[in-house]
Amino acid sequence: MRLLVVADPLASFKLYKDSTYAIMREAQARGHALWACEPKDLRWRAGRVEAHACALELLPLTVEQEHTPGIPWWRVLACESLDLTGFGAVLMRKDPPFDQDYLYATYLLELAERTGARVYNRPRALRDWNEKLAIGRFPQFTVPTLVSARADDIRAFLAEQGDIVLKPLNAMGGTEVFRLRPGEANIGVTIEVLTRHGRTPVMAQRFIPEIAQGDKRVLMIDGEPVPYMLARIPAPGETRGNLAAGGRGEARALGAREREIALALGPVLKAEGIFLAGLDVIGDWLTEVNVTSPTCFREITAQTGCNVAALFMDALERCIERG
- Positions marked active-site: 132, 167, 217, 232, 240, 280, 288, 290
CA–CA distance, 226 with 248 (Å, rounded to integer): 20
Q: What are phi and psi of 85, to 5 degrees?
A: -70, -15
Strand-strand pairing, 276-282 and 215-221? antiparallel
**Rounded-to-integer distance, Cα 79 and Cα 35, Å:** 9
Q: What is the DSSP letter of 16?
A: G
Torsion from C-alpha of 206, 168, 200, 156, nearest 10 degrees: 10
**CB-CB contact of 221 with 294 (8 Å):** no
DSSP secondary structure code for residue 176 in this structure:
T
DSSP labels, 65-119: HHTSTT---EEEEEEEEEEGGGSSEEEE-PPSP--HHHHHHHHHHHHHHHTT--E
* CA–CA separation, 65 and 63 (whole Å): 5
- Under 8 Å between Cβ of 20 and 36: no
Nearby residues of 29 by Cβ (< 8 Å), 6 or more positions away: none
Query: What φ, ψ does residue 79 adopt, rounded to 5°?
Result: -135, 135
Question: How many angstroms separate the first and last alpha carbons of the chain?
Answer: 13
298's enclosing H/E stretch is: helix 297-304
Sheet holding 145-148: strands in order across? 145-148, 202-206, 164-167, 178-180
Q: Are 56 and 37 in contact (CB under 8 A)?
A: no
